[in-house]
Every structure is written in structure tokens, then in C-alpha cells.
Amino acid sequence: MQPSHYISRLRLNNFRSYTSAAIDCNHSHIVLCGANGAGKTNILEAISLFTTGRGLRRASFSSLGQIDGNSNINTNWAVALTIETPLGPVDIGTGISADEKRKVRINGANANSIQELSSYIRLLWLTPDMDALFRGSNTDRRRFFDRLVSTLIPDHSNSISKYEKAMRQRNKILSDNGDNAWLNAIEAQMATYGAAIYFARIDSLSHLQRMVNESIDENAFPASQLSISPLFEDGYEPTSSSALEAKLTSHWHDNRHYDKNAGRTTLGPHKLDLKVIHKQKNIPAALCSTGEQKALLIGLILAHARLVKKMSAITPILLLDEIGAHLDEQRREALYNSLDALKAQCWMSGTDKMLFETLNNRALMYDVQLGQINAS
């Protein structure tokens, strides 16, 4: 049985290491093999641009063009996909043209926002940089979790963007000794977006934890016990958006002098941390071995993929960069079997074809060499 949604065609133009490249495929998994620096991750990054944010490398859109022999970046680049859906194929594209503004197109027409793509494609990814997620900063964990939330609630990223913009304005007004009435208005905006962010996170985490618990006995990867740090030091847990908005505005109003001296807003949804515990061993993920941490991360992504499929009726597409590294043969086979059970198309990269040999006819293999993609 094939996925409900999958990529059947990819086209790159002046993107990263590619002057022009194309991949035509079916619902099978896609494996990209090649040496380090050959351009495998560039392909995954191109696909990752079809969701909110700046893709799996978080690079600026102006830096994604191909670099010529004089180290100049071509400012005009484009990526196009054909997505197969139950209602037929949908052509989507994104890129930067002469006016240096990023555009998103669906079936040849300009989209009003990147969120419109969520009707056709949902994406999840893992990269080698994420292997240290549980030992890294709370900023990295928060960004990771918010990306998961955005695959369920596409407008979540918009709420974050507006909240952060309003927070920067508040910090500037405080620094400039601005008008209190202006601060009141800005803090009210922050509270509205902050409440939306908070409850989107809480709701998504509840659904995700339930999905993890339901599949704990049948999943070859360790399960996670998830929680997020409280907003307030007194442990206050809001029961409604209006109550949280009132609490936030009151706190920000009463702490203006403190925040001005600190040069930042010291409390709010932007301070969240995602807490992860190895459920079977009951120890924090940060104290687990490197292999266990990677297995926890894979298990979490697989559970979230199942949740996205269940709640959106869209099978997510997975992008797994160098996924075979640090996984033993048993874990690799467990991953491939989990992907098959999910019935999702997965794009994987690696330097060694041997890591993917057990996929057999479940995958299409491509050799990647310095801007060239060839079926192997």
C-alpha cells in the first residue's frame, strides 16, 4: 500500500551545488549515496523548504543559490516538487526571482502563504546535528519541538513569528523609555500570541505522549516521557487562553523595570524547555548514551509521524540525513520496518550503500557526485 501523499518528481535549478537536477520517483523510499560534500544534504534541504521556517539548515533564502567559480552566489534559485495526493498530482514550487523575494506557487498560482502547502505536504526530518539535541541548549530543543507542533498546527510558526516580533518591540520600547500606553498595547499582543503558542504546545505534547504510550510495546526504539518546563516560577498552569493572557500581561507590566535592566523579556513562552526521559529506564535523555539518545530521537520522530498521519490524514514525508551512522544492523532494520509500517515515503542519505542493502526493492537508489544525480 502506497502513502497517501508522496513526491513523484523533484527539480532543482541553481540550488546549492546544482545548476540543474531532476529526480523522478514513485512511492518507494529514496536513498542518496555519495561521498561527504557530494550534495546529498542539499537535496534534502531543498525538499525541507516546503514547510514553515527556513529548512533543515536554517539558512537564509538569499544564500541558497549556486556558487560560481568566483564565489558569487546566484540569487535566482528554484525548487519544484510534484506531490501525489488522493485527489491527483499537485505541482508546488518555491524560489527567489529577480526581485529577491521568496515566492511559493501551487499549480502555477502564487500562494498567499507558506502555510497553504500544509494541505498537500507535511515534512519531518533528522540531521546529524540533532544527535546532540538532548545535551544541547533549551533553544535547540524548543525549536525542535515547535517544528513538530507546526506539522500538526501549521499556523503555530506564524504565532511564534508574531510573538517574537512584538517581544523585540517591547524590549526596544523599554530600552528607549517609551510610552506606557504603547507598552500596554504591545504586551497585549504578546499575550494573545503567547497563549496561542502555549496551548498549541500543550495540546500537541498530550497527543504525542499518548501516541508514544500506545505503541511502546511494538516499537523497537525506546519511548520518551515528555514534558515542558512551566511558564511561571510558582508553577501556575492556566486553564484558558483568557486566564493566561491576563497572567502574562500582569507579569510583564509588573516586571518592566527588571526586564529593562536585563535588556530582555525574562519570562514567556520563548523560555520553554522540552524535557525528555527514557521511559523504560526512567533516566533523563541527557544522561543516556549517544546511541540511546539517537534511538530516542528516532522513536520520537516515528511516533510523531504516526500522529501527523492520524490527525491530518496526510502521510508525512521523512528526510533522514546520514541516518545509518551510529546505528547497528538490528536498529537499522528496525527503522526500515517502522518506515514500511508507517507507509510513508522516506528520503535518506549516506556515504555507504551497504547501510541500505536490506531495503532491496523497497527503495530507489541514487548516486550523488558533485552536482550530478544518477540512478544506481
Answer yes or no: is 161 within a domain.
yes
Q: pLDDT value at position 248?
A: 97
**Number of folded domains that form the chain:** 2
Could you tell me if 271 and 184 lie in one domain?
A: yes
Could you tell me if 176 and 296 lie in one domain?
A: yes
Closest CA to 75 of 83, 66, 84: 66
Answer yes or no: is 270 within a domain.
yes
Could you tell me if 304 and 322 lie in one domain?
A: no
pLDDT in tens, 21-34: 999 999 889 999 99
Among candidate residues 291, 312, 333, the one where a domain is terminated: 312
Could you tell me if 213 and 116 lie in one domain?
A: no
Could you tell me if 148 and 249 lie in one domain?
A: yes
Q: Write out the chain in H/E/C secondary structure.
A: CCCCCEEEEEEEEEECCEEEEEEECCCCEEEEECCCCCCHHHHHHHHHCCCCCCCCCCCCHHHCECECCCCCECCCEEEEEEEEECCEEEEEEEEECCCCCEEEEECCEECCCHHHHHHCCCEEEECHHHHHHHHCCHHHHHHHHHHHHHHHCCCHHHHHHHHHHHHHHHHHHHHCCCCHHHHHHHHHHHHHHHHHHHHHHHHHHHHHHHHHHHCCCCCCCCCEEEEECCCCCCCCCCCCHHHHHHHHHHHHHHCHHHHHHHCCCCCCHHHCCEEEEECCCCEEHHHCCHHHHHHHHHHHHHHHHHHHHHHHCCCCEEEECCCCCCCCHHHHHHHHHHHHHHCCCEEEEECCHHHHHHHHHHEEEEEEECCEEEEC
Answer yes or no: is 128 within a domain.
no
Could you tell me if 58 and 187 lie in one domain?
A: no
Handedness of CA 295, 296, 297, 298 (dihedral sign): positive
Could you tell me if 227 and 372 lie in one domain?
A: no
pLDDT in tens, 34-90: 999 999 999 999 999 999 989 999 999 988 998 776 667 777 899 999 999 999 999
Handedness of CA 333, 334, 335, 337 (dihedral sign): positive
Structural domain for 332, as ranges = 1-122+314-376
Q: pLDDT value at position 1?
A: 65
Phi/psi at 358 (5° precision) = -75, -10
Q: pLDDT value at position 237?
A: 86
Q: pLDDT value at position 70?
A: 65
Could you tell me if 207 and 304 lie in one domain?
A: yes
* Cβ atoms of 327 and 294 closer than 8 Å: yes
Q: pLDDT value at position 74?
A: 76
* Cβ atoms of 53 and 147 closer than 8 Å: yes
* Cβ atoms of 4 and 86 closer than 8 Å: yes
Could you tell me if 206 and 288 lie in one domain?
A: yes
Could you tell me if 89 and 40 lie in one domain?
A: yes
Could you tell me if 164 and 264 lie in one domain?
A: yes
Phi/psi at 26 (5° precision) = -125, -155
pLDDT along the chain (376 residues), means of 10: 90 94 93 94 97 92 81 84 97 85 93 94 96 94 97 96 98 95 97 98 97 79 94 90 97 97 97 95 95 93 96 96 86 91 95 90 92 89
Query: Domain of 77: which CATH number?
Result: 3.40.50.300
Query: Domain of 253: which CATH number?
Result: 1.20.1050.90
Answer yes or no: is 127 within a domain.
no
Q: pLDDT value at position 243?
A: 96
- Which pTM does this prediction carry? 0.94
